[in-house]
Amino acid sequence: MEKIDRKSFLINMGTISVAAAVAPSLFAFNTESADFKPLNRKIKVGVIGCGSVSRMYLPHLSGCPYAEIVSLCDIKHERAKKKAAEFKVANTYSNIEEMIAGVPFDLLVNLTDMQEHGRLNRIAINAGKYVWSEKPMANSYEEGKELLNLALSKNLKIWGAPVVINSPQFAFMAKQINSGKLGIISSGHGHYGHEGPNWSSFFYEKLGGSMPDLGVYNIATLVGLLGPAVSVTSILNIVNPAREIEDKGIIKVEEEDNAHILLEHKNGAISHIQCGFNYVNAHSYEGEEISTLAVIGSKAKMDMIGYDWWPFAIDMATSEHRKYERFSTERGTYLWQEGASVICEHLSTGKDILLNTEHVLHVLEIIEAARESNRSRKRVDLKSTFPYPLVV
């Protein structure tokens, strides 16, 4: 199989499955939508950030029957203009203040550098907009909690990536755990890494790093499956102190590019996540027979085949049937870039969703606690939680 790098994969995948724009809600248990009244119309969307990730989001949103992209914004205005011409969007802006003052919209889709997410999300909420944010939705747990409370105080909502809990493979694993098929759950493990992006420096700057870019997926999946964590222990470091970036040359790496995180879950299970920007990518992003995430119990073990943001199947062995059997081989309409489209359907029709902001905030607190654990060389207790199970 031909090997492709992450950037090429993102570009190529932007042309796939646009027609299947909206994912099913899959047995949703959602405390956020009980009093929500749908808008009963197409949702007017403003997208800020027209770089690499927009190559995936814009085709998906353009194919969503519940969304109308009315404006694009980027500090490099030519990028916004180029995307606007490609996707037939009438209005472009070079900063969020112009965007807010311009053509009206309902939902801000924030695809900017991660360090800017909290600031821009706050501006949008204060302007009366719903927000879908790429990961992370804020730069700290406290900032994220403030954004959620601010949104609720204005009868608005904010949601954030990743959407790994929407996949049929996640649902299959969750149902096996919830049914007791695995017995007593003891352990979970996830890993995700590659050589590191070279098209932007923000990945390596303060508040960047491999955890909010890569580890966030496995953290979201494992706490989603095993339940909220109560403490975090970690070892983080920088193993490659300088990087060459396309438009800046050599830069200094200021945030972790190598991370190992231990989570103690409320139910007694322990999970381990490793991620980094120094992993030789020996397999294609199109997916080969490799497990990147596992859950182990006293009666069974499950392995996720493929990445949790792009899964292919679940392999499971039990005490009664010790040879692995393959399950959940269809992905349905699930795509990792579907989040904003799912939110548009929710806002338009009131359809229940799995996505839960408290789950996103719990993941954000874990990342922050991992950094504190590494600094202090101590276990760090967590204060956040979320409604569990997410899938019933």
Residue 281 lies in a domain: yes
Query: Does residue 10 or residue 356 have the better pLDDT?
Result: 356
Q: Are residues 42 and 77 in the same domain?
A: yes
Q: Are residues 156 and 169 in the same domain?
A: no
Residue 177 lies in a domain: yes
Strand partners, 293: 190, 304
Distance CA 18, CA 58 (A): 10
Q: What angle, 0 to 180 degrees and rounded to 10, lies between the N-to-C axes of helices 141-153 and 117-126?
A: 10
Q: What is the DSSP string of 236-282?
A: EE-S--EEEETTTEEEE--S-SEEEEEEEETTS-EEEEEEES-----
**142-152 as b/e: b if 16+ CB within 10 A:** ebbbebbeebe
Q: Calculate the CA dihedral of residues 141, 142, 147, 152 and round it to 10 degrees.
A: 100
Q: Would the pLDDT of 18 be above 80? A: no
User: Which residue range forms the structural domain that includes residue 87?
Assistant: 35-160
* Average pLDDT score over residue span 290-301: 96
Q: Are residues 147 and 175 in the same domain?
A: no
Confidence of residue 3 (pLDDT cuts 50, 70, 90): very low
pLDDT of residue 310: 92
pLDDT of residue 287: 54
Q: Which of 129, 160, 191 is the last residue of a domain?
A: 160
pLDDT of residue 24: 37
Residue 108 lies in a domain: yes
pLDDT of residue 280: 85
Tell me the per-residue pLDDT of 304-328, one tens digit each, with 9 for 90 and over. Answer: 999 999 999 999 999 999 999 999 9
Q: Are residues 137 and 229 in the same domain?
A: no
Q: Would the pLDDT of 5 be above 60? A: no
* Paired tokens of 304: 């996720």
| Alpha-helical segments (H) within the chain | 6-13, 54-62, 77-87, 96-101, 117-126, 141-153, 168-178, 210, 216-226, 339-349, 357-376
* Average pLDDT score over residue span 326-338: 96
Residue 15 lies in a domain: no
Number of domains in the chain: 2
Question: 137 in helix, strand or coil?
Answer: coil
User: Do residues 319 and 4 make contact, with C-beta atoms less than 8 angstroms apart?
Assistant: no
Residue 28 lies in a domain: no
pLDDT of residue 36: 82
Q: What CATH number does the domain containing 153 carry?
A: 3.40.50.720
Confidence of residue 289 (pLDDT cuts 50, 70, 90): confident
Q: Which of 144, 160, 176 is the last residue of a domain?
A: 160
pLDDT of residue 29: 37
Residue 18 lies in a domain: no
Tell me the per-residue pLDDT of 166-207, one tens digit each, with 9 for 90 and over. Answer: 999 999 999 999 999 999 999 999 999 999 999 999 999 999
Residue 131 lies in a domain: yes
Highest mean pLDDT among 30-44, 224-238, 280-294: 224-238
Distance CA 74, CA 87 (A): 15
Least confident of 14-18, 92-96, 292-296, 316-320: 14-18
Nearest to 385 by CA among 80, 141, 183, 149: 141
Kindly state the greatest CA–CA separation across the chain: 63
Distance CA 106, CA 347 (A): 9
Nearest to 279 by CA among 2, 42, 5: 5
User: Do residues 87 and 58 make contact, with C-beta atoms less than 8 angstroms apart?
Assistant: yes
Q: What CATH number does the domain containing 215 carry?
A: 3.30.360.10
Nearest to 246 by CA among 201, 195, 194: 201
pLDDT of residue 288: 59
Q: Are residues 146 and 192 in the same domain?
A: no
Pairing of strands 258-265, 229-237: antiparallel
Q: Are residues 251 and 355 in the same domain?
A: yes
Residue 391 lies in a domain: no
Percent of the chain scoring above 90 in pLDDT: 88
Distance CA 361, CA 383 (A): 11
pTM of the model: 0.92
Answer positive or negative: Cα dihedral of 100, 102, 105, 111.
Answer: negative
Tell me the per-residue pLDDT of 366-384, one tens digit each, with 9 for 90 and over. Answer: 999 999 999 999 999 999 9
Q: Which of 160, 183, 217 is the last residue of a domain?
A: 160
Q: Are residues 203 and 62 in the same domain?
A: no
Q: Are residues 175 and 316 in the same domain?
A: yes
pLDDT of residue 12: 45
Q: Order of strands across the sheet with 300-307?
A: 325-327, 310-318, 300-307, 291-297, 185-193, 270-276, 258-265, 229-237, 380-381
DSSP 134: P
Q: Are residues 148 and 228 in the same domain?
A: no
Q: Are residues 355 and 223 in the same domain?
A: yes
Only one residue has tokens 């924030």, namely 110
Residue 55 CA, distance from chain mean position: 16
Tell me the per-residue pLDDT of 118-146, one tens digit each, with 9 for 90 and over. Answer: 999 999 999 999 999 999 999 999 999 99
Q: Are residues 149 and 61 in the same domain?
A: yes
Tell me the per-residue pLDDT of 65-105, one tens digit each, with 9 for 90 and over. Answer: 999 999 999 999 999 999 999 999 999 999 999 999 999 99
Q: Are residues 143 and 178 in the same domain?
A: no
Q: Would the pLDDT of 162 be above 70? A: yes
